[in-house]
Amino acid sequence: MVHLSVVVPCFNEAEVIDAFHTALLAALEPTGHPFEICYVDDGSSDSTLGRLRQLAADDPRVHFTSFSRNFGKESAMLAGLRMTAGDTAVLMDADLQHPPELIPRMLELHRNGYDQVIAQRDRSGEGAVRSALSRTYYRLVRRCMDVEVVDGAGDFRLLSRRAVDSVLSMPESNRFSKGIFSWIGFGSVSFTYQNVERAAGESKWGGRRLLNYGIDGLLSFNSRPLRLAIHTGLCLFLTGFLYAGWIITDDLLNGVDTPGYTTLLTAIVALGGIQLATLGVIGEYVGRIYHESKRRPHYVVSETDSRSRNRPAGPALECTAGARQTS
């Protein structure tokens, strides 16, 4: 019997948390596996924390950690994974978009020897514009990134203990979990399920947050944008060189007669634009280095349940592979 830990990040989910908890228990209890549920309250401003306190008081299998403010889903997932003591961990959302009924199937696939079982959603019921944009993004990302990220394969997945420990061994503070899960490797298998609408409440992902998440993803796992800048620079230099050669030859053969105002202006504007964009890319990386070098903890804990095994947020580099949270 594998011991299962379910990790659930929650941010303002008071409206659905009870329904979610009931559905989760209904899915877990018949499997016969011992389990624990690790909720992380990501600084909710509604009554989520109160609900979690109650759930933990009523059931010793429920644990929770609450953050001092909203630190984002990535930090919440990290805190949740640090709480786990099971042989496997399942990461899932609290809004019932990740159907708990799929967990037995994930366990089944895990028994076949896979360290990561990924439940991949299709895009049914999603707005046409949004799904077209996501598809384009993934096509772009696949070409630009050193790790493979798959469209629809989000955070709903089962990880074996060693996969969890590997994820925890990555100290970076700019956490892009899709990339992290792919980077750690191990045998993985995925299956598709039909996309479900959020049960209640609102998605926290507006257009701007999604765009920033997309840029994060592109920059977190490689330095190819910098390489692209070098290539663009080289191409421009070569073109300029050839053009200059052509003008000089033309001048020598036919005499000087070109005012060339338009050409000059176009060249200056285009070059200026490219230089600014490149500077922006470099700036992003420098910003990241600055951010990482501060080695801040990923989150600050304000409260845990009395039995929680979670340690308070330590320095980012404190957590190492194989470190299991006990006591």
Which residues lie below 8 Å from residue 229, measured CB to CB, with a gap of 6+?
277, 278, 281, 282
Closest C-alpha among 61, 109, 107 to residue 87: 107
Determine the size of the site formed for ligand UDP (CB under 6 A): 17
Contact between 123 and ligand UDP (CB under 6 A)? Answer: no
From the centroid of its chain, how far is CA 141? 14
Contact between 72 and ligand UDP (CB under 6 A)? Answer: yes
Contact between 42 and ligand UDP (CB under 6 A)? Answer: yes
Give me the count of residues in the chain.
327
Kind plus residue range of the DSSP H or E element containing 231: helix 224-254
DSSP code string of 18-87: HHHHHHHHHHHGGG---EEEEEEE-S-SSTHHHHHHHHHHH-TTEEEEEESS---HHHHHHHHHHH--SS
Contact between 52 and ligand UDP (CB under 6 A)? Answer: no
Closest C-alpha among 47, 31, 171, 182 to residue 104: 31
Nearer to ligand UDP, 217 or 225 (CB): 217
Binding region for Mg ion (CB under 5 A) out of 90-98, 162-170, 227-235, 265-273: 90-98
β-strand 62-67 against 301-304: which pairing, if any? antiparallel
Tokens of 287: 């910003």
Per-residue contact string for residues 197-236; x = within reach of ligand UDP by CB under 6 A: -x----xxx-------------------------------
Which of positions 80-99 make contact with ligand UDP (CB under 6 A)? 93-95, 97
Binding region for ligand UDP (CB under 6 A) out of 71-79, 103-111, 218-226, 228-236: 71-79
Nearer to ligand UDP, 154 or 225 (CB): 154
Nearer to ligand UDP, 42 or 305 (CB): 42
Q: What is the DSSP letter of 310?
A: P
Nearer to Mg ion, 162 or 198 (CB): 198
The C-alpha atoms of residue 192 and residue 175 are separated, in whole angstroms, by 25
Nearer to Mg ion, 12 or 310 (CB): 12
Per-residue contact string for residues 94-123; x = within reach of Mg ion by CB under 5 A: -x-x--------------------------
Contact between 35 and ligand UDP (CB under 6 A)? Answer: no
Closest C-alpha among 86, 26, 37 to residue 64: 37
Residues that bind ligand UDP in the complex, under the rule CB under 6 A: 9-11, 13, 42, 70, 72-73, 76, 93-95, 97, 198, 203-205
Q: What residues line the site for Mg ion (CB under 5 A)?
A: 93, 95, 97, 198
